[in-house]
Amino acid sequence: MSHDPALEAHEHTEHAHHAAHDGDPFVGRVAITVAVLAVLAAVASSLEGIEGGLAITASSEAVLAQDKATDLWNEYEADSTKKHLYAIAAAQGGAHADDYARESKSQGAKQDDLKKRAQKSENEREKLVAESAEHERRHHGLTAGATLIEIGIALSTIAIITKRRTFWLAAMLLGAAGAAIAAAAFGALPS
């Protein structure tokens, strides 16, 4: 079964609209509450999906940055081995000793560039890991907020059926708490 927040919000609003035609002012107020909570749930659920996707994307990009850094460090180590081999060959003397010494120096210069690039990739990985963690934190806050709002919708339905204010008040409190938690996920409220 698909979970479409916008469709669910519309369905809850339709049910609330039909209940409002009952003629009972209490039912009308609860129906409006259902409509508001449905919109809040749809927004929180949509943002939850977006944040989850962004968390996965940043995490995948962090893995790619680490792979790049690993490749660069491997190349750095290979050049280090070549540098040392050329240095040993140059130290042995002979007709090509100067060529070996230049090649050893060249390998060392390549290593400097590789080290900078590998460290840059590692820094990018760290940035992406932190970004992924932030998206994941938001995702969890939005999940909690949307869940409380949806429970509020269910309690509103119970309030309509039983015509009891206690359920309606509990629904509004849960809806407000859910909206506050969802807003706190983005730093809009202190968490």
pLDDT digits (tens, 9 = 90+) for 144-174: 999 999 999 999 999 999 999 999 999 999 9
Cβ atoms of 147 and 107 closer than 8 Å: no
The whole-angstrom separation of Cα 43 and Cα 5 is 8
Q: What is the pTM of this model?
A: 0.73
**In the chain, what is the greatest distance between 2 CA atoms, to the nearest angstrom?**
106
pLDDT tens digits for 92-108? Answer: 888 888 988 898 888 88
Neighbours of 160 (CB within 10 A): 24
User: Distance (Å, rounded) from C-alpha 38 to C-alpha 26?
Assistant: 18
